[in-house]
Amino acid sequence: MKKLLLGLIVAIGFFSCTDTASDKYTGNQVQYQLFQASDFNYTGLVTIKELIGGNLELSIRMEGERGDRDTQYPAHLHFGGYDTPNAQIAFMLNPVDAHDLESTTVLEQLTDGNRLLYDEILGFKGHVKVHLASDGPDYETILVAGNIGALGHSMEFDREQMAICGKDF
């Protein structure tokens, strides 16, 4: 009887330790490179995962020098390529925390009124930029940038061609 009870407790413990985080994703995901875009030595990766229900989760993970917990780097999803002048902001992403160099955002309605689904993100012509600051002269300093969707499969990046972000929505 004791062995049966012990076995039951172990089984309950085993099943209660399953990863519930994987239960929120469909398994569809795509990744895009973020390139060093200034004299600051950062690179990164954008991962877009489809959530059950159809929403998309966009995560940024940067590599480089970590900062303090109080510093955040603004991040935006833009329409067009990184070289598009005054590219309209498609979605304000959650800022990248300088301490862990990560950000995660669930994409909702874009500024043009559309909502991207997983199949649509693959054809989306856009880019992600992470800024040094949210305003002032440091707003024009881009830490990392990279095209996503239909534009995101090239490993070529010319930071001399990078356009400064427009703040228009």
pTM, rounded to two decimals: 0.85
Of 76, 134, 83, 84, give the one whose Cα is nearest residue 107: 76
Residue 164's pLDDT is what? Answer: 78
169 in any annotated domain: no
* Token reading at 161: 């061609």
82 in any annotated domain: yes
Structural domain of residue 107, as residue ranges?
A: 22-161
Residue 167's pLDDT is what? Answer: 62
Looking at residue 93, its amino acid is: L
Residue 86's pLDDT is what? Answer: 87
5 in any annotated domain: no
7 in any annotated domain: no
Residue 25's pLDDT is what? Answer: 98
Residue 14's pLDDT is what? Answer: 46
Residue 2's pLDDT is what? Answer: 47
63 in any annotated domain: yes
141 in any annotated domain: yes
- CATH code for the domain in which residue 37 is found: 2.60.40
13 in any annotated domain: no
37 in any annotated domain: yes
Q: How many domains does the chain have?
A: 1
Instruction: Kindly list the averaged pLDDT for each block of 10 residues, start to end, along the chain of length 169.
Output: 46 50 90 97 98 97 95 96 93 97 98 95 96 91 97 90 71
Residue 163's pLDDT is what? Answer: 85
